[in-house]
Amino acid sequence: MRIIRPITSADYDALYAIAEESGIGFTSLPVNQELLENKIKRAEAAFASKPIKPQGESYLFVMEDTATGEVIGTSGIESAVGLDDAFYHYHMGKVVHSSRELKIHNTVDILTLCNDYTGVTEICTLFLREKARGGISGRFLSKMRFLFMMEHRERFAENVIAEMRGVCDEEGASPFWEWLEEHFFSMDFPTADYLSGIGNKEFIAELMPKYPIYVNLLSEKAQAVIGQVHEKTRPALRMLEEEGFSCRGYVDIFDAGPTVEANLSCIRTALGSRKMPVVIDDQTAAQGQTHYLINTSVQNFRAVATEIAVSEEQQVVAISRHAAGMLRISEGDAVRFAPVQFRD
């Protein structure tokens, strides 16, 4: 069975290996010992905290194969972004240049630097190692976060975003960044991306164009990738769109990948989740359907994907003894759950 749990300091080596495998453009996992260690410490502090509102806590989870004890994936939640340092995006808008006398009317797309998402919750750092891919593991890593947020709503903002990786090649070259580099930054995309990932964002305010950028002045290659995702990110985008996420015109300042958003109360898995006490019954559980389950703890959080049977009459959910052990719960304890497959 594969479980999801809070990261601990003992997971450092696994997290470093994941950071190396994730590659260029995966800003939230820089290959840097000090920063990864700090990331783990922040997560441990977040899971131990008891906030009454989101204050910038950083929750990082890992997926573990219980048969081998190996960590095979990770995903995270930032409870409120931009509170400690600036959180930048470009917003895609339009300006109109019009002359009634000359009968000329031109609409031009522009990109405006902004901090509009300050204070929102961000889901991030989703990565499943290649050898572990297949089945529902990737979806499990993503969707359990919606269950966790729904169970502990006081810890998170109502507005939830996800930054999607934009277009770049295997060497890390980004068509969008190449234009910015030529005219403003004089540093390549991997360097800029790495500096941002380690928290060194002063250069953005210092060097970024201070006025809106007219899109038609960009190179054709740069224009073509605005709002587009990396080919490896398309499945993740489709999954979030199925959950109700959409892009409202915000893109990343480095690779122009889209940022998608949704209200927590409208996210399909969160909205469709239920909370019930459990009965431990192997035979009844085996006759049920596969669901994502979480316990109701924070510091001792556990999540599994397994068969359960819901009794509407008794308002209980039957789970197996093994699943109860993995979740660290006893009969009568509550779980929050959502189906793997919704019936439309």
> Which one is catalytic: 183, 230, 291, 322?
230
Q: Kindly list the averaged pLDDT for each block of 10 residues, start to end, along the chain of length 344.
A: 96 93 71 90 97 96 94 96 89 91 91 95 92 90 97 97 89 82 76 66 72 92 94 90 96 93 96 96 94 97 97 95 97 96 70
Residue 263 dihedral angles phi and psi, to the nearest 5°: -80, 135
Q: Which residue has the tokens 């450092």?
A: 12
- pLDDT for res 254: 84
Residue position matching structure tokens 């497959």: 341
Q: 10 Å Cβ neighbour count for 70?
A: 13
- pTM of the predicted model as reported, rounded to 2 decimal places: 0.91
CB 68 within 8 A of CB 44: no
In the prediction, which pLDDT does 197 show?
Answer: 63
DSSP 8-state secondary structure symbol assigned to residue 183: I
Q: Which of 14, 16, 18, 58 is nearest to 33 (CA)?
A: 16
Please give the pLDDT value at position 306: 96
| Residue 230 annotated to the active site | yes
Q: Residue 147 has what pLDDT?
A: 98
Question: Tokens at residue 133, please?
Answer: 């891919």
Q: How far apart are CA 49 and CA 46, in angstroms?
A: 5
Q: How many CB atoms lie within 10 A of CB 108?
A: 14
Q: How far apart are CA 45 and CA 242, in angstroms?
A: 32
DSSP state of 212: P
Q: Beta-carbon neighbour count of residue 254 at 10 Å?
A: 23
Which pLDDT score is estimated for 213? 92
Residue 103, pLDDT score: 87
CATH class as words, domain 272-339: mainly beta
- The continuous run of DSSP H or E covering 64 comes out as strand 58-65
Three-state DSSP class for residue 152 = coil
334-339 and 289-295 strand pairing: antiparallel
Residue in the structure block whose two tokens are 């080919």: 231
What are the C-alpha distances in Å from 7 to residues 48, 50, 70, 238?
12, 18, 13, 27
| Burial tier of 329 (Cβ tally within 10 Å: 0-12, 13-18, 19+) | buried
